[in-house]
Structure 1
Amino acid sequence: MGELDTATITRAYARWAPVYDFVFGAVFEKGRKASIEAAERIGGRVLEVGVGTGISLPDYKRTTKLVGIDISEPMLRKALGRKRDLKLDNVEALSVMDVGHLGFPDASFDVVVAQYVITAVPDPDAALDEFARVLKPGGEIILVNHISAEGGLRRSFELQFAPIARRLGWRPEFEWARLQAWIDRNPNMRVIERRPMPPLGHFSMMRFGKAA
């Protein structure tokens, strides 16, 4: 199975930018709000990876300090407009950045949130390594993402849909075992929660804690 590359992802999300909120806003809403609620239970400074058009930014409390990054400049322009129009002064910065090479010092954030991101990056393991690096001890990585079915009709559909999905900017085949293997390689990280999300449990919210 082929891997994604940065150029393919960047082109795909430039095409998605004008219609992303309309197409995906409602579909992703439950997972988006669940991850925000989980982040705000921890509090402090939050990094939102793959902030996109900034659709989630107004859902955070104004007391939550936010930094958002995305690989897509067209998507990020929409996020900057949203920050300006809604006067979201708690948003410290919105920057174009590669998730595999985050431009932040170690232990910069109390929480790293990545909603529908980890299957849309060229190297998920490198991205997770960077999330863990910039996370403070005692903090959490919160992912919301599709996890592949292990068998049955949904698994067959995912495999057939894979070539189209890559052209759209994501990979549909992404198994929990890949995340578990990353956890196993990082003894300072642990699984806190894995919870199915609507619609139909197709997505999951996953919380990983960093040892204090």
Structure 2
Amino acid sequence: MAKGAEERGHARVALDADSVRDAYRRWAGVYDIVFGGVSGVGRRRAVAAVNRLVGPRVLEVGVGTGLALPLYRRDFQVVGIDLSRDMLEKAKARVATERLPNVSGLLEMDAEHMAFADGAFDIAVAMFTASVVPDAKRLFAEMSRVVRPGGHLLFVNHFAAEGGPRWWVERAMAPLSRRLGWHPDFALRDLLDPERTPVERIEPCPPAGIFTLVSLRNPEIAAQALAAE
């Protein structure tokens, strides 16, 4: 147990904004081929969940190459942010090619320090992003701040298993995952405090439940408290 905690600490220390930029600069050209397939089910489920909610202002945090952008309802106004300029260039090309007028902005921005006003969005979704930022709880606080009270926060991510077959799958994926800039031992508690933040839904996603969709409502008091930390 202590060894695992120590390894997680080393992984998070090594994961800073510059290393994330470097990782995705290397992978931008082949990201869709290497990672797009295995993450496809989780991405589609997340956007389907978003599309069932009341918008219209949607923020996608860590938009990457824009794989999810064609899936959003056309009556939603979607803004995407990413730390990687190389990924954003791919996303902008996708928006132009697929003619997506509902995508109103693709911005280079640090998800832990967003430039948006409080309550600027009705929904914020982060797909495969929480485990690549240096401070996931800060990400959660910023998403809570920029989403209006009563709005929705959604996350699709890999959350570490405690044991069983998925534990072995995660360890097999570890070399690739670290090359992609994320670590396989990321836990839900690294993102939010379950005792302070009620989660509405947790849904495992194929393949093999490697990824999980987490949905919750944004309460006003919790959002203000998290943003103040």
TM-score normalised by L of structure 2 = 0.84
Shift of residue 21, structure 1, vs aligned partner: 0.9
Q: What's the counterpart of residue 74 of structure 2?
A: 62
Q: What's the counterpart of residue 82 of structure 1?
A: 94
Could you report, residue by residue, the CA deviation over 1:151-195 in whole angstroms, capped at 9, with x for unpaired residues? Answer: 2464367468757744431011112333452x434xxx4211000
Conservation of the 8 A alpha-carbon contact between 2:137 and 2:192:
no
- 1:30/1:163 Cα in 2 relative to 1: closer, same or farther (>3 Å)? closer
Unaligned runs of 5+ in 2: 1-6, 221-229
1:19-38 → structure 2 map (5 Å cutoff): 19-38=30-49
Shift of residue 100, structure 1, vs aligned partner: 0.5
Q: Is the partner of 2:65 in helix, strand or coil?
A: coil
CA distance in 1, matches of 2:112, 2:216: 18
Larger deviation: 63-72 or 19-28? 19-28
CA distance in 1, matches of 2:176, 2:211: 19
Question: Which protein is richer in strand relative to its size?
Answer: 1
- 1:27/1:162 Cα in 2 relative to 1: closer, same or farther (>3 Å)? closer
Could you report, residue by residue, the CA deviation over 1:132-158 in whole angstroms, capped at 9, with x for unpaired residues? Answer: 000111111110011101124643674
AA of the residue aligned to 1:40: N
- 1:105/1:154 Cα in 2 relative to 1: closer, same or farther (>3 Å)? same
Unaligned runs of 5+ in 1: none
CA distance in 2, matches of 1:116, 1:206: 12
Q: What's the counterpart of residue 209 of structure 1?
A: 217
- 1:29/1:161 Cα in 2 relative to 1: closer, same or farther (>3 Å)? closer
Q: What percent of counterpart residues are identical?
A: 44
Q: Is the partner of 1:21 in helix, strand or coil?
A: helix
Conservation of the 8 A alpha-carbon contact between 2:166 and 2:210:
no
1:9-48 → structure 2 map (5 Å cutoff): 9-42=20-53, 43-48=55-60
CA distance in 1, matches of 2:114, 2:210: 29
Question: Does 2:112 correspond to 1:100?
Answer: yes
Q: What's the counterpart of residue 190 of structure 2?
A: 178
CA distance in 1, matches of 2:51, 2:172: 38
TM-score normalised by L of structure 1 = 0.91
